[in-house]
Protein backbone atom coordinates (compact mmCIF):
# COMPACT_ATOMS: atom_id res chain seq x y z
CA UNK A 1 0.00 0.00 0.00
CA UNK A 2 1.18 3.55 -0.65
CA UNK A 3 1.26 6.27 1.97
CA UNK A 4 -2.26 7.30 0.95
CA UNK A 5 -3.59 3.80 1.53
CA UNK A 6 -3.99 3.13 -2.20
CA UNK A 7 -1.99 0.46 -3.99
CA UNK A 8 -0.07 1.15 -7.15
CA UNK A 9 -1.43 -0.38 -10.36
CA UNK A 10 -0.64 -4.02 -10.87
CA UNK A 11 2.72 -4.50 -12.52
CA UNK A 12 3.70 -0.86 -11.94
CA UNK A 13 6.34 -1.52 -9.28
CA UNK A 14 9.71 0.06 -9.81
CA UNK A 15 12.96 -1.85 -9.79
CA UNK A 16 13.47 -0.91 -6.16
CA UNK A 17 10.27 -2.75 -5.18
CA UNK A 18 8.27 0.41 -4.46
CA UNK A 19 4.52 0.38 -5.08
CA UNK A 20 4.68 3.74 -6.86
CA UNK A 21 4.46 3.80 -10.68
CA UNK A 22 7.68 4.34 -12.57
CA UNK A 23 7.30 7.88 -13.92
CA UNK A 24 9.67 7.05 -16.77
CA UNK A 25 7.46 4.31 -18.22
CA UNK A 26 3.92 4.06 -19.49
CA UNK A 27 1.96 0.86 -19.35
CA UNK A 28 1.31 -0.86 -22.69
CA UNK A 29 -2.02 -0.03 -24.26
CA UNK A 30 -4.58 -2.79 -23.71
CA UNK A 31 -5.80 -2.86 -27.28
CA UNK A 32 -8.28 -5.72 -27.07
CA UNK A 33 -10.60 -4.48 -24.30
CA UNK A 34 -10.25 -0.85 -25.34
CA UNK A 35 -11.13 -1.60 -28.96
CA UNK A 36 -14.10 -3.61 -27.70
CA UNK A 37 -15.36 -0.45 -25.97
CA UNK A 38 -14.72 1.54 -29.16
CA UNK A 39 -16.67 -0.99 -31.23
CA UNK A 40 -19.70 -0.92 -28.94
CA UNK A 41 -19.70 2.87 -28.74
CA UNK A 42 -19.29 3.21 -32.50
CA UNK A 43 -22.13 0.80 -33.21
CA UNK A 44 -24.51 2.67 -30.91
CA UNK A 45 -23.71 6.06 -32.42
CA UNK A 46 -23.90 4.85 -36.01
CA UNK A 47 -27.26 3.18 -35.39
CA UNK A 48 -28.92 6.57 -34.81
CA UNK A 49 -26.47 8.90 -36.59
CA UNK A 50 -28.94 10.03 -39.25
CA UNK A 51 -32.24 9.07 -37.63
CA UNK A 52 -33.69 12.59 -37.75
CA UNK A 53 -31.45 14.76 -39.93
CA UNK A 54 -29.35 17.89 -39.99
CA UNK A 55 -28.75 20.16 -37.00
CA UNK A 56 -28.86 23.92 -37.49
CA UNK A 57 -25.23 24.25 -36.43
CA UNK A 58 -24.13 21.73 -39.07
CA UNK A 59 -25.73 23.87 -41.78
CA UNK A 60 -23.84 26.85 -40.43
CA UNK A 61 -20.48 25.07 -40.32
CA UNK A 62 -20.88 23.95 -43.91
CA UNK A 63 -21.82 27.43 -45.15
CA UNK A 64 -18.99 28.97 -43.11
CA UNK A 65 -16.60 26.52 -44.76
CA UNK A 66 -17.78 27.78 -48.13
CA UNK A 67 -16.68 31.26 -47.03
CA UNK A 68 -13.15 30.21 -46.11
CA UNK A 69 -11.42 32.59 -43.72
CA UNK A 70 -9.00 32.44 -40.79
CA UNK A 71 -11.88 33.07 -38.44
CA UNK A 72 -15.55 33.83 -37.95
CA UNK A 73 -17.33 35.90 -35.30
CA UNK A 74 -18.10 32.80 -33.25
CA UNK A 75 -15.29 30.33 -33.99
CA UNK A 76 -11.87 29.68 -35.52
CA UNK A 77 -11.72 28.04 -38.97
CA UNK A 78 -10.95 24.32 -38.46
CA UNK A 79 -14.43 22.86 -37.91
CA UNK A 80 -16.00 24.85 -40.80
CA UNK A 81 -13.20 23.66 -43.09
CA UNK A 82 -13.77 20.02 -42.12
CA UNK A 83 -17.54 20.45 -42.45
CA UNK A 84 -17.17 21.81 -45.96
CA UNK A 85 -14.96 18.90 -47.00
CA UNK A 86 -17.41 16.38 -45.51
CA UNK A 87 -20.44 18.06 -47.09
CA UNK A 88 -18.83 17.79 -50.53
CA UNK A 89 -19.01 13.99 -50.20
CA UNK A 90 -22.18 12.07 -51.15
CA UNK A 91 -24.55 11.03 -48.40
CA UNK A 92 -25.99 14.30 -47.12
CA UNK A 93 -25.39 14.68 -43.40
CA UNK A 94 -23.86 11.20 -42.98
CA UNK A 95 -20.21 12.22 -43.69
CA UNK A 96 -20.46 14.93 -41.03
CA UNK A 97 -21.89 12.49 -38.52
CA UNK A 98 -19.11 10.03 -39.29
CA UNK A 99 -16.61 12.75 -38.39
CA UNK A 100 -18.47 13.39 -35.13
CA UNK A 101 -18.49 9.70 -34.22
CA UNK A 102 -14.80 9.42 -35.13
CA UNK A 103 -14.01 12.30 -32.77
CA UNK A 104 -15.98 10.65 -29.97
CA UNK A 105 -14.19 7.34 -30.50
CA UNK A 106 -10.90 9.23 -30.58
CA UNK A 107 -11.68 10.47 -27.07
CA UNK A 108 -12.33 6.89 -25.97
CA UNK A 109 -8.98 5.71 -27.31
CA UNK A 110 -7.05 8.68 -25.99
CA UNK A 111 -8.38 8.45 -22.44
CA UNK A 112 -7.19 4.84 -22.39
CA UNK A 113 -3.79 6.04 -23.58
CA UNK A 114 -3.79 8.65 -20.81
CA UNK A 115 -4.54 5.99 -18.21
CA UNK A 116 -1.60 4.04 -19.62
CA UNK A 117 0.59 7.12 -19.21
CA UNK A 118 -0.48 7.16 -15.57
CA UNK A 119 0.73 3.56 -15.23
CA UNK A 120 -2.73 2.03 -15.47
CA UNK A 121 -3.00 -1.34 -17.14
CA UNK A 122 -5.88 -3.16 -18.81
CA UNK A 123 -8.54 -2.64 -16.11
CA UNK A 124 -7.73 1.03 -15.60
CA UNK A 125 -7.67 1.72 -19.34
CA UNK A 126 -10.91 -0.14 -19.98
CA UNK A 127 -12.75 1.63 -17.16
CA UNK A 128 -11.52 5.03 -18.34
CA UNK A 129 -12.45 4.30 -21.97
CA UNK A 130 -15.88 2.98 -21.04
CA UNK A 131 -16.51 5.97 -18.77
CA UNK A 132 -15.94 8.44 -21.60
CA UNK A 133 -18.00 6.27 -23.97
CA UNK A 134 -20.88 6.34 -21.44
CA UNK A 135 -20.54 9.93 -20.21
CA UNK A 136 -23.49 12.15 -21.23
CA UNK A 137 -21.22 15.14 -21.93
CA UNK A 138 -19.32 13.15 -24.57
CA UNK A 139 -22.22 11.09 -25.92
CA UNK A 140 -24.42 14.14 -26.48
CA UNK A 141 -21.59 16.08 -28.11
CA UNK A 142 -21.27 13.37 -30.78
CA UNK A 143 -24.91 13.84 -31.81
CA UNK A 144 -23.73 16.35 -34.41
CA UNK A 145 -20.50 17.49 -36.00
CA UNK A 146 -19.35 20.74 -34.49
CA UNK A 147 -16.77 22.50 -32.40
CA UNK A 148 -17.82 20.78 -29.17
CA UNK A 149 -16.93 17.23 -30.20
CA UNK A 150 -13.77 18.31 -32.02
CA UNK A 151 -12.76 20.36 -28.98
CA UNK A 152 -13.13 17.30 -26.78
CA UNK A 153 -10.83 15.15 -28.91
CA UNK A 154 -8.30 18.00 -29.07
CA UNK A 155 -8.28 18.21 -25.24
CA UNK A 156 -7.82 14.44 -25.04
CA UNK A 157 -4.88 14.52 -27.46
CA UNK A 158 -3.18 17.39 -25.60
CA UNK A 159 -3.67 15.55 -22.29
CA UNK A 160 -1.93 12.45 -23.63
CA UNK A 161 0.89 14.30 -25.37
CA UNK A 162 1.56 16.48 -22.34
CA UNK A 163 1.62 13.47 -20.00
CA UNK A 164 4.12 11.81 -22.31
CA UNK A 165 6.23 14.98 -22.57
CA UNK A 166 6.33 15.41 -18.79
CA UNK A 167 7.34 11.77 -18.42
CA UNK A 168 10.08 11.82 -21.06
CA UNK A 169 11.23 15.42 -20.66
CA UNK A 170 12.64 15.71 -24.19
CA UNK A 171 12.12 18.47 -26.72
CA UNK A 172 10.94 15.89 -29.24
CA UNK A 173 8.20 14.83 -26.83
CA UNK A 174 7.02 18.38 -26.15
CA UNK A 175 6.66 19.49 -29.78
CA UNK A 176 3.63 17.24 -30.59
CA UNK A 177 1.87 18.65 -27.52
CA UNK A 178 2.46 22.19 -28.79
CA UNK A 179 1.35 21.28 -32.31
CA UNK A 180 -1.86 19.69 -31.03
CA UNK A 181 -2.57 22.71 -28.84
CA UNK A 182 -2.13 24.93 -31.91
CA UNK A 183 -4.54 22.80 -33.93
CA UNK A 184 -7.01 22.89 -31.04
CA UNK A 185 -6.79 26.67 -30.83
CA UNK A 186 -7.65 26.88 -34.53
CA UNK A 187 -10.79 24.91 -33.67
CA UNK A 188 -12.06 26.51 -30.46
CA UNK A 189 -10.63 29.15 -28.15
CA UNK A 190 -11.62 27.21 -25.02
CA UNK A 191 -8.58 24.97 -25.36
CA UNK A 192 -6.57 27.98 -24.24
CA UNK A 193 -7.90 27.23 -20.75
CA UNK A 194 -6.36 23.75 -20.99
CA UNK A 195 -3.03 25.30 -21.95
CA UNK A 196 -3.32 27.69 -19.00
CA UNK A 197 -4.09 24.82 -16.64
CA UNK A 198 -1.12 22.80 -17.93
CA UNK A 199 1.16 25.79 -17.47
CA UNK A 200 0.04 26.35 -13.89
CA UNK A 201 0.14 22.63 -13.14
CA UNK A 202 3.64 22.16 -14.47
CA UNK A 203 4.78 25.26 -12.60
CA UNK A 204 3.43 23.85 -9.33
CA UNK A 205 4.45 20.21 -9.65
CA UNK A 206 7.22 19.99 -12.29
CA UNK A 207 9.01 23.30 -12.05
CA UNK A 208 12.28 21.80 -13.25
CA UNK A 209 10.64 21.04 -16.59
CA UNK A 210 10.30 24.75 -17.23
CA UNK A 211 14.09 25.10 -17.07
CA UNK A 212 14.30 23.05 -20.27
CA UNK A 213 13.53 24.30 -23.75
CA UNK A 214 10.79 21.75 -24.51
CA UNK A 215 7.73 23.48 -23.00
CA UNK A 216 8.79 26.87 -24.32
CA UNK A 217 9.25 25.57 -27.86
CA UNK A 218 5.89 23.82 -27.62
CA UNK A 219 4.24 27.07 -26.52
CA UNK A 220 5.93 29.00 -29.30
CA UNK A 221 4.71 26.45 -31.85
CA UNK A 222 1.14 26.74 -30.57
CA UNK A 223 1.28 30.54 -30.75
CA UNK A 224 2.68 30.39 -34.28
CA UNK A 225 -0.12 28.08 -35.41
CA UNK A 226 -2.91 30.20 -33.92
CA UNK A 227 -1.44 33.50 -35.14
CA UNK A 228 -3.54 33.67 -38.35
CA UNK A 229 -6.74 33.50 -36.30
CA UNK A 230 -5.44 36.17 -33.91
CA UNK A 231 -4.65 38.44 -36.86
CA UNK A 232 -8.15 37.84 -38.27
CA UNK A 233 -9.68 38.80 -34.93
CA UNK A 234 -7.61 41.96 -34.72
CA UNK A 235 -8.77 42.97 -38.19
CA UNK A 236 -12.41 42.31 -37.30
CA UNK A 237 -12.64 44.17 -34.01
CA UNK A 238 -11.89 41.08 -31.88
CA UNK A 239 -15.19 39.57 -32.96
CA UNK A 240 -14.72 36.29 -31.10
CA UNK A 241 -14.15 38.14 -27.82
CA UNK A 242 -17.33 40.13 -28.40
CA UNK A 243 -19.16 36.89 -29.13
CA UNK A 244 -17.79 35.43 -25.90
CA UNK A 245 -19.14 38.40 -23.97
CA UNK A 246 -22.52 37.96 -25.64
CA UNK A 247 -22.64 34.27 -24.73
CA UNK A 248 -21.61 35.04 -21.16
CA UNK A 249 -24.46 37.52 -20.82
CA UNK A 250 -26.92 34.98 -22.21
CA UNK A 251 -25.75 32.46 -19.57
CA UNK A 252 -26.29 34.95 -16.76
CA UNK A 253 -22.60 35.72 -16.28
CA UNK A 254 -20.51 34.08 -13.55
CA UNK A 255 -23.48 33.59 -11.24
CA UNK A 256 -25.39 31.78 -13.97
CA UNK A 257 -22.42 29.49 -14.65
CA UNK A 258 -21.98 28.87 -10.93
CA UNK A 259 -25.61 27.81 -10.64
CA UNK A 260 -25.05 25.23 -13.41
CA UNK A 261 -22.01 23.56 -11.81
CA UNK A 262 -24.12 20.84 -10.12
CA UNK A 263 -25.50 19.99 -13.56
CA UNK A 264 -21.97 19.48 -14.85
CA UNK A 265 -20.85 17.43 -11.86
CA UNK A 266 -23.94 15.26 -11.48
CA UNK A 267 -25.72 15.13 -14.86
CA UNK A 268 -23.28 15.77 -17.69
CA UNK A 269 -20.59 13.66 -16.03
CA UNK A 270 -23.06 10.78 -15.65
CA UNK A 271 -24.73 10.25 -12.26
CA UNK A 272 -23.21 6.78 -11.62
CA UNK A 273 -19.77 8.06 -12.70
CA UNK A 274 -19.52 10.77 -10.04
CA UNK A 275 -17.53 8.44 -7.81
CA UNK A 276 -15.06 7.71 -10.61
CA UNK A 277 -13.99 11.31 -11.07
CA UNK A 278 -13.99 11.79 -7.30
CA UNK A 279 -11.67 8.78 -7.01
CA UNK A 280 -9.59 10.31 -9.79
CA UNK A 281 -9.17 13.47 -7.73
CA UNK A 282 -8.24 11.33 -4.73
CA UNK A 283 -5.59 9.44 -6.69
CA UNK A 284 -4.10 12.59 -8.21
CA UNK A 285 -3.86 14.08 -4.72
CA UNK A 286 -2.14 11.00 -3.31
CA UNK A 287 1.54 10.13 -3.31
CA UNK A 288 0.94 7.60 -6.09
CA UNK A 289 -0.41 10.27 -8.43
CA UNK A 290 1.95 13.12 -7.58
CA UNK A 291 3.75 12.96 -10.96
CA UNK A 292 0.44 13.65 -12.69
CA UNK A 293 -0.96 16.23 -10.29
CA UNK A 294 -0.90 18.84 -13.04
CA UNK A 295 -4.06 17.11 -14.37
CA UNK A 296 -5.86 18.05 -11.16
CA UNK A 297 -4.74 21.66 -11.65
CA UNK A 298 -6.15 21.57 -15.18
CA UNK A 299 -9.55 20.45 -13.89
CA UNK A 300 -9.60 23.15 -11.21
CA UNK A 301 -8.48 25.80 -13.70
CA UNK A 302 -11.21 24.81 -16.17
CA UNK A 303 -13.95 25.05 -13.57
CA UNK A 304 -12.71 28.37 -12.16
CA UNK A 305 -12.03 30.10 -15.49
CA UNK A 306 -15.19 28.98 -17.27
CA UNK A 307 -17.33 29.83 -14.26
CA UNK A 308 -15.72 33.24 -13.75
CA UNK A 309 -16.14 34.06 -17.44
CA UNK A 310 -19.78 32.95 -17.58
CA UNK A 311 -19.08 30.06 -19.94
CA UNK A 312 -21.58 27.40 -20.92
CA UNK A 313 -22.08 24.50 -18.54
CA UNK A 314 -20.36 21.96 -20.80
CA UNK A 315 -17.19 23.99 -21.38
CA UNK A 316 -15.24 22.33 -18.51
CA UNK A 317 -16.45 18.83 -19.47
CA UNK A 318 -13.27 17.81 -21.38
CA UNK A 319 -11.36 18.04 -18.08
CA UNK A 320 -13.23 14.88 -17.09
CA UNK A 321 -10.88 13.01 -19.45
CA UNK A 322 -8.01 13.43 -17.00
CA UNK A 323 -10.15 12.64 -13.97
CA UNK A 324 -11.66 9.50 -15.53
CA UNK A 325 -8.20 8.23 -16.48
CA UNK A 326 -6.96 8.82 -12.94
CA UNK A 327 -10.11 7.24 -11.51
CA UNK A 328 -9.53 4.13 -13.58
CA UNK A 329 -6.03 3.85 -12.14
CA UNK A 330 -7.43 4.22 -8.60
CA UNK A 331 -9.99 1.46 -9.18
CA UNK A 332 -7.38 -0.87 -10.63
CA UNK A 333 -5.03 -0.22 -7.74
CA UNK A 334 -7.81 -0.79 -5.23
CA UNK A 335 -8.77 -4.07 -6.87
CA UNK A 336 -5.16 -5.24 -7.04
CA UNK A 337 -4.75 -4.46 -3.34
CA UNK A 338 -7.80 -6.47 -2.23
CA UNK A 339 -6.92 -9.27 0.17
CA UNK A 340 -8.98 -11.93 -1.61
CA UNK A 341 -10.64 -12.28 -5.01
CA UNK A 342 -14.03 -12.23 -3.28
CA UNK A 343 -13.24 -8.76 -1.94
CA UNK A 344 -12.78 -7.42 -5.47
CA UNK A 345 -16.11 -5.89 -6.60
CA UNK A 346 -15.44 -6.32 -10.32
CA UNK A 347 -19.11 -6.11 -11.26
CA UNK A 348 -19.76 -2.69 -9.72
CA UNK A 349 -18.05 -0.53 -12.32
CA UNK A 350 -19.44 -2.34 -15.37
CA UNK A 351 -22.93 -1.88 -13.92
CA UNK A 352 -22.32 1.79 -13.09
CA UNK A 353 -20.91 2.50 -16.54
CA UNK A 354 -23.79 0.68 -18.23
CA UNK A 355 -26.36 2.68 -16.25
CA UNK A 356 -24.58 5.91 -17.17
CA UNK A 357 -24.48 4.83 -20.82
CA UNK A 358 -28.22 4.18 -20.91
CA UNK A 359 -28.88 7.53 -19.25
CA UNK A 360 -26.58 9.24 -21.78
CA UNK A 361 -28.36 7.62 -24.71
CA UNK A 362 -31.80 8.64 -23.47
CA UNK A 363 -30.92 12.30 -23.00
CA UNK A 364 -28.19 12.74 -25.60
CA UNK A 365 -29.08 10.83 -28.77
CA UNK A 366 -32.32 10.50 -30.81
CA UNK A 367 -33.19 6.99 -29.62
CA UNK A 368 -36.72 7.66 -28.32
CA UNK A 369 -39.96 8.19 -30.26
CA UNK A 370 -40.41 11.73 -31.52
CA UNK A 371 -43.02 12.65 -28.91
CA UNK A 372 -40.72 11.49 -26.11
CA UNK A 373 -37.80 13.46 -27.54
CA UNK A 374 -40.05 16.50 -27.72
CA UNK A 375 -41.10 16.02 -24.09
CA UNK A 376 -37.42 15.87 -23.03
CA UNK A 377 -36.61 19.14 -24.77
CA UNK A 378 -36.15 20.93 -21.43
CA UNK A 379 -33.42 18.40 -20.55
CA UNK A 380 -31.68 18.46 -23.94
CA UNK A 381 -33.17 20.26 -26.90
CA UNK A 382 -30.57 19.15 -29.45
CA UNK A 383 -32.19 15.89 -30.69
CA UNK A 384 -35.40 17.66 -31.77
CA UNK A 385 -33.32 20.43 -33.34
CA UNK A 386 -32.25 17.81 -35.90
CA UNK A 387 -35.84 17.11 -36.93
CA UNK A 388 -38.10 18.81 -39.45
CA UNK A 389 -35.75 20.87 -41.60
CA UNK A 390 -36.87 19.39 -44.95
CA UNK A 391 -40.48 20.32 -44.10
CA UNK A 392 -39.36 23.84 -43.18
CA UNK A 393 -37.57 24.19 -46.51
CA UNK A 394 -40.61 22.93 -48.43
CA UNK A 395 -42.88 25.41 -46.66
CA UNK A 396 -40.64 28.37 -47.49
CA UNK A 397 -40.11 27.15 -51.06
CA UNK A 398 -43.85 27.04 -51.75
CA UNK A 399 -44.22 30.67 -50.70
CA UNK A 400 -41.06 31.71 -52.56
CA UNK A 401 -42.47 30.39 -55.83
CA UNK A 402 -45.00 33.25 -55.80
CA UNK A 403 -42.33 35.96 -55.72
CA UNK A 404 -41.17 37.93 -58.77
CA UNK A 405 -37.66 37.61 -60.26
CA UNK A 406 -35.03 39.55 -58.32
CA UNK A 407 -36.58 38.82 -54.94
CA UNK A 408 -34.52 37.33 -52.13
CA UNK A 409 -34.87 35.58 -48.78
CA UNK A 410 -33.61 37.01 -45.49
CA UNK A 411 -33.67 34.83 -42.36
CA UNK A 412 -33.47 35.58 -38.65
CA UNK A 413 -30.74 33.05 -37.87
CA UNK A 414 -27.99 30.98 -39.45
CA UNK A 415 -29.90 27.70 -39.06
CA UNK A 416 -32.75 28.85 -41.26
CA UNK A 417 -30.38 30.37 -43.81
CA UNK A 418 -28.21 27.27 -43.84
CA UNK A 419 -31.15 24.89 -44.26
CA UNK A 420 -32.51 26.89 -47.19
CA UNK A 421 -29.06 27.06 -48.80
CA UNK A 422 -28.11 23.40 -48.33
CA UNK A 423 -31.51 21.71 -48.80
CA UNK A 424 -33.26 24.37 -50.88
CA UNK A 425 -31.95 23.53 -54.36
CA UNK A 426 -33.25 19.94 -54.18
CA UNK A 427 -36.63 21.31 -53.06
CA UNK A 428 -36.79 23.69 -56.03
CA UNK A 429 -35.76 26.87 -54.22
CA UNK A 430 -34.04 29.27 -56.59
CA UNK A 431 -33.96 32.53 -54.64
CA UNK A 432 -30.71 33.72 -53.01
CA UNK A 433 -30.60 33.47 -49.20
CA UNK A 434 -28.95 35.79 -46.69
CA UNK A 435 -29.03 36.55 -42.98
CA UNK A 436 -27.58 39.07 -40.57
CA UNK A 437 -26.74 36.49 -37.89
CA UNK A 438 -23.13 35.87 -36.73
CA UNK A 439 -20.92 34.89 -39.69
CA UNK A 440 -23.63 35.88 -42.16
CA UNK A 441 -23.35 39.50 -41.03
CA UNK A 442 -19.91 39.65 -42.69
CA UNK A 443 -21.03 38.11 -45.97
CA UNK A 444 -23.70 40.70 -46.67
CA UNK A 445 -26.76 40.48 -48.92
CA UNK A 446 -26.59 38.44 -52.13
CA UNK A 447 -24.92 40.40 -54.93
CA UNK A 448 -27.16 41.51 -57.76
CA UNK A 449 -30.29 41.70 -55.60
CA UNK A 450 -32.29 44.60 -54.19
CA UNK A 451 -34.32 44.81 -50.98
CA UNK A 452 -37.43 45.84 -52.94
CA UNK A 453 -39.17 42.47 -52.42
CA UNK A 454 -37.78 40.20 -49.71
CA UNK A 455 -39.20 37.13 -48.03
CA UNK A 456 -38.19 37.45 -44.38
CA UNK A 457 -38.25 34.09 -42.59
CA UNK A 458 -37.87 33.41 -38.89
CA UNK A 459 -38.31 34.84 -35.41
CA UNK A 460 -38.97 38.41 -36.49
CA UNK A 461 -41.28 40.93 -34.96
CA UNK A 462 -43.20 43.00 -37.46
CA UNK A 463 -42.06 46.18 -35.70
CA UNK A 464 -38.42 45.14 -36.17
CA UNK A 465 -38.92 44.53 -39.88
CA UNK A 466 -40.75 47.84 -40.33
CA UNK A 467 -37.53 49.63 -39.40
CA UNK A 468 -36.24 48.53 -42.82
CA UNK A 469 -39.42 48.06 -44.89
CA UNK A 470 -42.61 50.10 -44.93
CA UNK A 471 -44.82 47.25 -46.15
CA UNK A 472 -44.55 44.15 -43.93
CA UNK A 473 -47.14 41.41 -44.38
CA UNK A 474 -47.16 38.17 -42.38
CA UNK A 475 -48.01 35.34 -44.77
CA UNK A 476 -48.06 32.30 -42.47
CA UNK A 477 -46.42 30.97 -39.31
CA UNK A 478 -43.65 28.42 -39.55
CA UNK A 479 -44.81 24.97 -38.51
CA UNK A 480 -42.86 21.80 -37.81
CA UNK A 481 -44.14 18.25 -38.41
CA UNK A 482 -45.15 16.11 -35.48
CA UNK A 483 -45.94 19.15 -33.34
CA UNK A 484 -42.34 19.40 -32.17
CA UNK A 485 -41.09 22.47 -30.37
CA UNK A 486 -37.75 23.77 -31.58
CA UNK A 487 -36.04 27.13 -31.77
CA UNK A 488 -38.41 28.26 -34.52
CA UNK A 489 -41.72 27.15 -33.03
CA UNK A 490 -40.84 27.95 -29.41
CA UNK A 491 -41.21 31.61 -30.40
CA UNK A 492 -43.45 33.08 -33.07
CA UNK A 493 -41.48 32.37 -36.23
CA UNK A 494 -43.23 33.21 -39.48
CA UNK A 495 -42.82 34.03 -43.15
CA UNK A 496 -43.16 37.73 -43.98
CA UNK A 497 -43.35 39.51 -47.32
CA UNK A 498 -41.44 42.79 -47.02
CA UNK A 499 -41.61 45.58 -49.63
CA UNK A 500 -40.91 49.30 -49.98
CA UNK A 501 -37.51 49.40 -48.26
CA UNK A 502 -36.15 52.48 -46.52
CA UNK A 503 -33.13 52.54 -48.82
CA UNK A 504 -30.85 50.12 -50.63
CA UNK A 505 -29.01 47.19 -49.05
CA UNK A 506 -26.05 49.34 -48.04
CA UNK A 507 -28.36 51.60 -46.06
CA UNK A 508 -30.51 49.01 -44.29
CA UNK A 509 -27.96 46.20 -43.82
CA UNK A 510 -26.26 47.60 -40.67
CA UNK A 511 -29.59 47.54 -38.85
CA UNK A 512 -30.20 43.90 -39.77
CA UNK A 513 -26.95 42.46 -38.39
CA UNK A 514 -26.87 40.80 -34.99
CA UNK A 515 -24.41 38.73 -32.94
CA UNK A 516 -25.86 36.11 -30.61
Give the model's pLDDT for residue 337.
61
In this prediction, the residues of the chain whose per-residue pLDDT falls under 70 are: 1-24, 337-345
Q: Classify residue 381: in a domain, yes or no.
A: no
Domain that holds residue 492: 389-512
Q: Classify residue 406: in a domain, yes or no.
A: yes
| Residue 283 shares a structural domain with residue 405 | no
Q: Classify residue 154: in a domain, yes or no.
A: yes
| Residue 356 shares a structural domain with residue 441 | no
**What count of other Cβ atoms lies within 10 Å of the Cβ of residue 199?**
17
Give the model's pLDDT for residue 489.
84
Inter-residue contact 493 to 458 (CB < 8 Å): yes
| Residue 345 shares a structural domain with residue 466 | no
| Residue 143 shares a structural domain with residue 256 | yes
- Cα distances (angstroms) measured from residue 97 to each of 79, 101, 157, 235, 264: 13, 6, 20, 33, 25
Give the model's pLDDT for residue 232.
96
| Residue 284 shares a structural domain with residue 353 | yes
Q: Classify residue 415: in a domain, yes or no.
A: yes
- For 482: left if phi > 0, alpha if psi spans -120 to 50, otherwise beta; the answer is left
| Residue 339 shares a structural domain with residue 415 | no
| Residue 55 shares a structural domain with residue 141 | yes
- Cα distances (angstroms) measured from residue 370 to each of 53, 137, 181, 191, 258: 13, 22, 39, 35, 33
Give the model's pLDDT for residue 258.
83
| Residue 353 shares a structural domain with residue 421 | no
Q: Classify residue 9: in a domain, yes or no.
A: no
- Cα distances (angstroms) measured from residue 185 to each of 163, 222, 224: 19, 8, 11
DSSP state of 504: -
150 alpha carbon, distance to own chain's centre: 6
- Cα distances (angstroms) measured from residue 180 to each of 51, 155, 223, 399: 33, 9, 11, 48
| Residue 435 shares a structural domain with residue 487 | yes
Q: Classify residue 422: in a domain, yes or no.
A: yes
| Residue 413 shares a structural domain with residue 352 | no
**Strands of the 494-501 sheet, one edge to the other:** 433-435, 408-411, 453-458, 494-501, 469-477
What's the CA gap between 410 and 437, in Å, rounded?
10
What's the CA gap between 304 and 78, in Å, rounded?
27
User: Among 483, 452, 458, which Cα is nearest to 370's?
Assistant: 483
Give the model's pLDDT for residue 338.
54
C-alpha angle 360-380-476 in degrees, rounded to nearest 5: 145
User: Among 221, 129, 207, which Cα is nearest to 171's?
Assistant: 221
What's the CA gap between 305 and 230, in Å, rounded?
20
Q: Classify residue 18: in a domain, yes or no.
A: no
| Residue 238 shares a structural domain with residue 347 | yes
Q: Is the pTM of this model over 0.85?
A: yes
Q: Classify residue 81: in a domain, yes or no.
A: yes
Give the model's pLDDT for residue 108.
98
pLDDT tens readout for residues 4-42: 333 333 334 443 344 444 556 789 999 999 999 999 999
3-state SS assignment for residue 73: coil
**335, 336, 341, 346 alpha-carbon torsion, rounded to 10°:** 30
How many structural domains does the chain have?
A: 2
User: Among 191, 423, 204, which Cα is nearest to 302's?
Assistant: 191
| Residue 272 shares a structural domain with residue 420 | no
Inter-residue contact 496 to 460 (CB < 8 Å): yes
Amino acid sequence: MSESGVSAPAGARTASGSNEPDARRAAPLAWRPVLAVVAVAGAVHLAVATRFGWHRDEFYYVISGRHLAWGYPDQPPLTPLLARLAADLPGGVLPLRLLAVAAQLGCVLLVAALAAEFGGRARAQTIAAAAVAACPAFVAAALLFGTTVTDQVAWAAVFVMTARAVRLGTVRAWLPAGAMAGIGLENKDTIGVLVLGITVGVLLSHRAVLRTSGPWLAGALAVLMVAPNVVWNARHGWAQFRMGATLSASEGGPLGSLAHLPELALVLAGPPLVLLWVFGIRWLGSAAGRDHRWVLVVAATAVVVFTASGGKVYYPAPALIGLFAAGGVWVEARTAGAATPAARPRWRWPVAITVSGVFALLIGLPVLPLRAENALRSVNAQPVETYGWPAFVRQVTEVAKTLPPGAGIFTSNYGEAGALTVLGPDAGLRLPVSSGHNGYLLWGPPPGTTPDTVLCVGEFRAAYLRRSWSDVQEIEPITMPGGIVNEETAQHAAIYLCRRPHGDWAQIWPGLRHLD
